[in-house]
A = this chain, B = another copy of it.
Amino acid sequence: MENDNCNHPKNSGFTIPTKVSRAAKSDSTIVNIGGVEFGGSAIVIIAGPCAVESREQLFETSRSVKDGGAHVIRGGAFKPRSSPYSFQGMGEEGLKLLREISNETGLPFVTEVMDTRQVEMVAEYADMIQIGSRNMQNFPLLKEAGMCSKPVLLKRGMMATIEEFLLAAEYILYHGNDQVILCERGIRTFETSTRNTLDLSAVPMLKSRTHLPVIVDPSHGTGLRWMVPSMAKAAVAVGADGLIIEVHNHPEEALCDGQQSLNIDEFFRLMTDLKKIAQAIDRNI
């Protein structure tokens, strides 16, 4: 019987797990979200508010990010909040709004699921389910996502090594779902001037180890609205397959993460800039 210590990252050598590794599958995996492909030469932009707050807020923002060139909508219905006194999300009502605006705009949407009991329900509404940073090592949730019929966006834990991140993805593939997108979203360090430290070296590191698509979240990675465009450009230059960006029609009124959300004008300008960077590396948005 095995006698391992694989919870012990510091002492274990960096070993690439079987199913997620390039060794197991050298071709890059293309993950298809309602017709939008991640992992090919095109760079995919996911945009929308942190949380679904109201029909008006979600619909106005979603229509705008579509006009700006986004390919996928994001929005949280179940919110993981450090404090029980913070806004916890609209729940299933939020999922219905997301489904409605997704149908109207023709853009697929991704939304977070936090509870094993809700995976099935969320997957009925969503085109892709997201597992957030705080749940990257919630193994029962990873297992449920592995048995789910929808693609999974897996965010790196804020203190997870690259190896642990790949092993978390391995849980999903192991349980049967190979439609997984990895997302670097900033790690926790001693530096306090940004919310997290966006580790862009994770992108080439992950792309060298795994065939799965890798995207970047510059909004949580910096926590600072004015810094999002710079880091988004760097993420494209470094080789990310996509970005997930928080956009809000009125950031100053947001119930969650307003200080890191772009407004509509900022998002439009950013898309123009990103296209130039993509072109410079022979890709397109």
Interface-located stretch among A37-45, A93-101, A222-230, A263-271: A222-230
Cβ A117 vs Cβ B114 within 8 A: no
Specify which of B9, B85, B277 is in contact with A281 (CB 8 Å cutoff).
B277
| Residue A68 at the chain B interface, CB threshold 8 Å | no
A204 partner, pick from B137, B170, B227, B273, beta carbons under 8 A: B227
Q: How many residues of A contact B (CB 8 A)?
A: 89
Question: Which residues of B sit under 8 angstroms from A116, Cβ to Cβ?
Answer: 115-117
Smallest CB gap from A203: residue in B: B230
Contact with B along A147-164 (1 / 0, CB 8 A): 000000000011101111
Contacts of A236 in B (CB 8 A): 237
A1-27 vs B, Cβ < 8 Å mask (1 yes, 0 no):
111111111110010010000000000
Within 8 A of B (CB), among A158-201: 158-159, 161-164, 167-168, 170-171, 174-175, 187-195, 197-201
Q: Establish whether residues B194 and A192, one from each chain, have CB atoms under 8 Å apart when the complex forms.
A: no
> How many angstroms between the C-alpha atoms of A16 and B189 in the bound complex?
21
- Given the interface pairs A198-B201, A201-B227, the reply to whether A4 lies near B87 with Cβ below 8 Å is yes
- For the complex of A and B, the 5 pairs showing the least CB-CB separation, nearest first, are A159-B159, A237-B237, A134-B137, A115-B140, A234-B238
